[in-house]
Amino acid sequence: MKQTRNHAVVIGGSMAGMLAARVLAERFERVTIVERDRYPEGAENRRGVPQGRHTHGLLASGREIIERLFPGISVSLLEAGAVPCDVCRDGYWFQQGGPLARVASGLDGFVASRPLIEAAVRERVRRLENVRVVEDCAVEGLLTGEGRVTGVRTARGPMEADLVVDASGRGSRAPGWLSELGYEKAEEERVEIALAYTTRWFRRDPDCGAPPIVVIPPTPDGKRGGVMLAQEGGRWTVTLIGHFGHAAPEELDGFIDYSGTLPSSLIHDVIRQAEPLSEPMSARFPASVRRRYERLTRFPEGFLVAGDAVCSFNPAYGQGMTAAAFQALELGMAIDAGWGGLARRFFAGAAKVVDIPWSIAVGNDLRMPETVGPRPATVRFINWYVAKLHVAAHRDAVCSTAFHRVANLLEPPPSIMKPAVAWRVLRASLRRGEEAQGNFFAGSVSSASSMRSST
């Protein structure tokens, strides 16, 4: 087995690719990122990352990892205009008919546009002496020899490598490349959520009364939600999302009217008075997709897949960049343990880190009756419990913080069932006289009913 660590190639220089390159740079003599796009000069949108035009939040755990990989990057982002915030204290999270208690949680971070975050990471990667970025160059296939991947075929010719990491996103061609090489296709899990999103930007009046983070998730019966985040340059980005045929109109008046149909009127109250700054942008996200590379029994040496190419979640949960950051750490650990069984080790580690955000996103999406997927009693119980936790968290800072720590992937989901939290949930539930209807096997609590009961 080839043991050299001369050269690693990363396919795709977006968030997953750059974070992987940062980790590889410590372990290989040279790293080359091959990116299909030509990068813009600064914090601009680009073709290869169309989702960059839509609202992007970075979870607290993702921010921590990125800061660890690039010390000082948070300060640079704040200097570039990112808006500092405590995810819990400075966020309006509307769940189960009311906003969660806003308290200082220590979950410090910032909100900023995706192009700004990506440009800051890119600038740090460019400072790494042994990393080269080849732009405007698509990878077209893999080079192989002696039963392993030995490099990539690019639009400009072959490029040899000891390790190739595919971070080319949701449209990754790895499944096709692998089957051309005679490997089995990785099992693909799809959870159809028929999500449509429309984004517009508005001027932000810091005195408008809304905190920098406003999240109004769709309810199972309403299916419409919205996210509004403060951004650099005194702006709001507003993404309105609708499932199963509830797309928001693009045209301004329709967009504003739609925001008035969400479970909370806060976004509507702000944008109907704000100056619009952009044309609308719309896209569709039919399904969350997870490719189960960790279940394959055969996989070629010298090749790995990371980031959205492995798993892309319902974007409403803001987990993609953070999942990519966790996978970069797994990549480093898997390589440090040696060449033998690298793919098996990496995919097992990556599957573990993806399990939690995947279960949060899919579990929540399964609250909508239209979402197709198995609903074991555990999923129904968790949804029932989380609904109760949200109601308790309207007033209870401990419950609110416990929820945010899990949503930010700082604590595992079972932490919301610790006795210190569970008894508060129970107490709040008893206070509301809900214990009589508390049969979780009857299904999850509908937001609409809890909205009615809270008003």
Ligand X SMILES: Cc1cc2nc3c(=O)[nH]c(=O)nc-3n(C[C@H](O)[C@H](O)[C@H](O)COP(=O)(O)OP(=O)(O)OC[C@H]3O[C@@H](n4cnc5c(N)ncnc54)[C@H](O)[C@@H]3O)c2cc1C
- Per CB under 6 A, 115 contacts ligand X: no
Shortest reach from residue 53's CB to ligand X, in Å: 8
Task: Tell me the per-residue interface mask from 278 to 307 with ligand X, x by CB under 6 A, - otherwise.
Answer: -------x---------------------x
Which residues fall within 8 angstroms of residue 71, CB to CB, at 6 or more apart?
Answer: none
Shortest CB 386 distance to ligand X, Å: 20
* Orientation of helix 15-25 relative to helix 60-69, angle to 10°: 40
**What is the chain's percent helix, strand, coil content, to nearest 5?**
40, 25, 40
Q: Which is nearer to ligand X, 86 or 308 (CB)?
A: 308
- Sole window of 121-129, 293-301, 311-319, 444-452 interacting with ligand X (rule: CB under 6 A): 311-319
Give CA–CA dist 450/455, Å, rounded: 9
Q: Helices 377-393 and 342-365 sit at what angle, rounded to 10 degrees?
A: 60
Q: Choose the binding region for ligand X from 48-56, 202-210, 408-416, 423-431 (rule: CB under 6 A).
A: 48-56
Q: Does the footprint of ligand X cover residue 168 (CB under 6 A)?
A: yes
**Straight-line distance from the first to the last Cα atom of the chain, in angstroms, rounded to the nearest whole number:** 67
Contacts of 123 (CB under 8 A, 6+ apart): none
Contact pattern from residue 356 through residue 395 relative to ligand X, giving x for each residue in contact according to CB under 6 A and a dash for the rest: ----------------------------------------
**332 sits near ligand X (criterion: CB under 6 A):** no
- In angstroms, give the least distance from the CB of 164 to ligand X: 11
Whether the CA torsion 162, 163, 168, 170 is positive or negative: it is positive
Among 22, 24, 35, 364, binds ligand X (CB under 6 A): 35
Task: Rule CB under 6 A: choose which of 315, 332, 349, 363 binds ligand X.
Answer: 315
Helix axes 447-454, 377-393, angle to 10 degrees: 20
**β-strands 157-160, 163-166 pairing:** unpaired
Region binding ligand X by CB under 6 A among candidate stretches 29-37, 69-77, 294-302, 377-385: 29-37
Q: Rounded CA gap, 47 and 38, in Å?
A: 9
Judged by CB under 6 A, the stretch of 35-43, 94-102, 293-301, 436-444 that binds ligand X is 35-43
Question: Under the rule (CB under 6 A), what is the footprint of ligand X?
Answer: 11-17, 34-37, 48-49, 51, 54, 56-58, 138-139, 167-170, 197, 285, 307-309, 315, 318-322, 324
